[in-house]
Amino acid sequence: MGGKPEMAKDRAVLFDIFKRVEGSLWEGNIESGLPRFLEFANLLFLKLLEERQKDTLWESLKSEQNKIQYLNEVAIPSLQAKYNALDVFTETTITKESVVKKIVAILDKYLLTSFDSDILGDAYEYFLRNNIVSKQNLGQYFTPRPIVKLMAALVSPTNKDTVYDPFCGTGGLLTGAFNHIKERGSNVDRGSTIDFDPSKKEGNTFFGKDVSVSTRVAKMNAILHWRDHSGIEQVENTLSHPLHEQYSIGLTNVPFARDPKNYPYNDLYENGLARKKTDVLCILHLFQSIKKGGRMVAIVPEGFLFGTERADARRFLTDNTDLRLVISLPHDTFLPYTHVKTALVYFDNIRCPDQKNHFWYFDVDSPDSLNTLQSTNFKGASEEELTSLGYAKIPFEKIRQHHENWIGKHYLDNSGAHSLYPLVPLGKLVTFVSTGFSHNTSHLSDDGIPFFTLKSVKKELFPNCETGSRLSTGGRPSTRFLKYETQTNEKNTCVEGDILVALKDKNRESAILGRATIANKKGIFSSDLTKIEINSKDLLLGEYLYYFFKNETYIKEIKKFSAGSIVKSISLENMASIKIPLPPLSIQEEVVKEFNQYEKLIIAQNEAANFFHEKCRERLKSLWA
């Protein structure tokens, strides 16, 4: 074990190290998952302690022949005593000396702290990854390091602050806040740097809670970074213990948990304002815990940003804080753990807002835009600079008119659409009928009442190529049926030729949100669809409108207005605002006639192709006759 250690340059190298360590623990018959991690954590901590604080325990462990005895009789008791950490460090249960020697040799080969990473958190993620993916780890996921740095920069903690994460997990956000203080110092304006020394501060700076065993990792991180884990606490449920104005800064990644049917903590927060929504309860907990004038930043499921159920909570927050920034994060931010789409929200001046008339919105739609976020001094940049970088200024007046919808892109007129003809909002031309039937699997049958659902909607431009029928005589076939005894009413009914548009989308691979299908017979339409009724057939032709719903310019507008953490959806209000080119009826008829001719050619070519495919199959078959 000599020579200069090799630098672990990224997480890929770390995970390769963890893989080799796990192989050694497997040889030692240590159970996979948490047991393996806990055995490894003590050894990893000693290595990191040596790198960060020049502690000699690691060097002593390397030189000992009986490493298991040294761990249990010297190293572990020493850590427990020095850091008052009986619940953090426990004796090893490894019985094979060769296993410990292999792990020590693997770790000693590298300088692990050579790049910015929550190494203990990375190890926890690696060893528990299968458990986390399958059981969702109570809805908590590991926050990517660029997002951690961004959140720390937004709240800009100094060594005079107290920082709180109510769902701290392995402590990644708290260590990110610590690193921000250490790198930038308490006086950012002067650009000075300090070596943050907690011993020079009265009381603790960092506080965290969590329900899971990950708090043990958070405590190790606290010892490694600021040498005091007393602010980290494992609790039965953070929400069951509201706090009131205790900290100056809050930051967290809200658990992506399902809302329980009977949440006993609802009335503990702003008179039940959360309506038993877990994400709202978590944000209100964070809000209540922050002192007057403080600031907070959080990652939330995108569903937090829109919809009437959370509108009162959002209005409460914009009335009692300064909402400064909303960042829409990509769908893949928390893969492979979840497809939930998320957003970052930043609030300032808790309980004493200066009532600005706008907030800023930024949509991370590419790696370049994430780089823009990371390189921008949001607080120091001028409005002109922010606008030029892609930030959008959203007036509060607009969100007041739309149920406090914080998804800024819904208010931007960036379609770039131009036409030789008047562009008219759909809402002035049609009526959206949203009285579809809300069904469950018990209503479905192999035969019965024709039922039009999202599965009836496909992306193809032409509706009839599969059946050969014209719009007026058929359209797409129904794909599902309701049992005859299902109780429906006339409000759920559509007739032959009705245009039905998808209001939701549950298919990431083949997006159908906003696309249309045509009823080929009388039936029932799903609540996931809206039925289109044309207000004046002297202005708008149904067939022309159907083709409009397949237009790429329209689809871009649908994407702009789409929202949802997992299931994407669009409101009728937003759909009604989308503009359609409205040529004279004669031009519409020409367009439809031209498209129908193309459709006939495609049908004929498909039939010819099928004919020749069958000829080939018959000829090949004859060779064995």
Please check the confidence at residue 195 and state whether its pLDDT lies above 90. no
Going by pLDDT thresholds of 50, 70 and 90, the confidence category of residue 426 is very high
**Distance (Å, rounded) from C-alpha 84 to C-alpha 492?**
66
The pLDDT, as a whole number, for residue 562 is 86
The pLDDT, as a whole number, for residue 27 is 92
SS3 content of the chain, % helix, strand, coil (to 5): 45, 15, 40
Please check the confidence at residue 189 and state whether its pLDDT lies above 60. no
Mean pLDDT across 148-159: 94
Please check the confidence at residue 409 and state whether its pLDDT lies above 80. yes
DSSP 409: G
The pLDDT, as a whole number, for residue 340 is 82
The pLDDT, as a whole number, for residue 416 is 61
Q: Is 532 helix (H, G, I), strand (E, B) or coil?
A: strand
Hey, which residues does 425 pair with through a beta bridge? 579
pLDDT tens profile 46-62: 999 999 999 999 999 99
Q: Which two tokens stand for residue 388?
A: 């030029």
pTM metric for this prediction: 0.78
Q: Using alpha carbons, select from 140, 138, 361 the residue that is nearest to residue 252.
A: 140
Going by pLDDT thresholds of 50, 70 and 90, the confidence category of residue 511 is confident
Please check the confidence at residue 133 and state whether its pLDDT lies above 70. no
Query: In terms of pLDDT, which residue wins out, 393 or 412?
Result: 393
Q: Is 343 helix (H, G, I), strand (E, B) or coil?
A: strand
Residue spans of the domains in the chain: they are 6-122, 128-411, 423-591+594-601
The whole-chain average pLDDT of the chain stands at 87
Provide the total of helices (H) and of strands (E) in the chain, helices listed first.
20, 24
β-bridge pairing 449-452 and 523-525: parallel
Going by pLDDT thresholds of 50, 70 and 90, the confidence category of residue 415 is low
pLDDT tens profile 7-23: 888 889 999 999 999 99
The pLDDT, as a whole number, for residue 190 is 33
Backbone angles phi, psi at 449, to 5 degrees: -80, 125
Q: Which amino acid is at 174?
A: L
DSSP E strands in 440-498: the ranges are: 444-445, 449-452, 480-482, 493-494
Mean pLDDT across 541-569: 86
Please return the burial class of 257, using the count of CB atoms within 10 Å of its CB with bins 0-12, 13-18 and 19+: middle
**Distance (Å, rounded) from C-alpha 506 to C-alpha 254?**
23
pLDDT tens profile 224-265: 999 999 999 999 999 999 999 999 999 999 987 777 766 788
The pLDDT, as a whole number, for residue 130 is 60
**Distance (Å, rounded) from C-alpha 513 to C-alpha 591?**
24
pLDDT tens profile 525-543: 999 999 999 998 889 999 8
The pLDDT, as a whole number, for residue 556 is 85
Please check the confidence at residue 471 and state whether its pLDDT lies above 90. no
Q: Using alpha carbons, select from 352, 303, 295, 301 the residue that is nearest to residue 325.
A: 295
Please check the confidence at residue 382 and state whether its pLDDT lies above 90. yes
pLDDT tens profile 19-36: 999 999 999 999 998 899
To which residue do tokens 């497997």 refer?
A: 26
Please check the confidence at residue 170 and state whether its pLDDT lies above 50. yes
pLDDT tens profile 113-131: 988 888 999 999 889 876 6
The pLDDT, as a whole number, for residue 566 is 76
The answer to whether domain 128-411 has CATH 3.40.50.150 is yes
Please check the confidence at residue 491 and state whether its pLDDT lies above 50. yes
Mean pLDDT across 565-578: 86
* Residue percentage of the chain with pLDDT more than 90: 56
HEC letters along 265-333? CHHHCHHHCCCCCHHHHHHHHHHHHEEEEEEEEEEEEHHHHCCHHHHHHHHHHHHHCEEEEEEECCHHH
Least confident of 58-62, 389-393, 552-556: 552-556
Mean pLDDT across 269-287: 94
Please check the confidence at residue 434 and state whether its pLDDT lies above 70. yes
**Distance (Å, rounded) from C-alpha 452 to C-alpha 216?**
52
pLDDT tens profile 234-245: 999 999 999 999
pLDDT tens profile 392-404: 999 999 999 888 9
* Helical packing angle, 119-127 and 34-53, nearest 10°: 170
Going by pLDDT thresholds of 50, 70 and 90, the confidence category of residue 135 is very low
Q: Is 449 helix (H, G, I), strand (E, B) or coil?
A: strand
Query: In terms of pLDDT, which residue wins out, 573 or 166?
Result: 166
Query: In sequence order, what are the residues at sequence separation of 6 or more whose Cβ sits closer than 8 angstroms to the Cβ of residue 399?
Result: 318, 405, 406, 411
Please tell me the class of the 423-591+594-601 domain.
alpha beta
The pLDDT, as a whole number, for residue 191 is 35
Backbone angles phi, psi at 433, to 5 degrees: -100, 110
To which residue do tokens 């808790």 refer?
A: 350
To which residue do tokens 């020697």 refer?
A: 101
The pLDDT, as a whole number, for residue 193 is 38
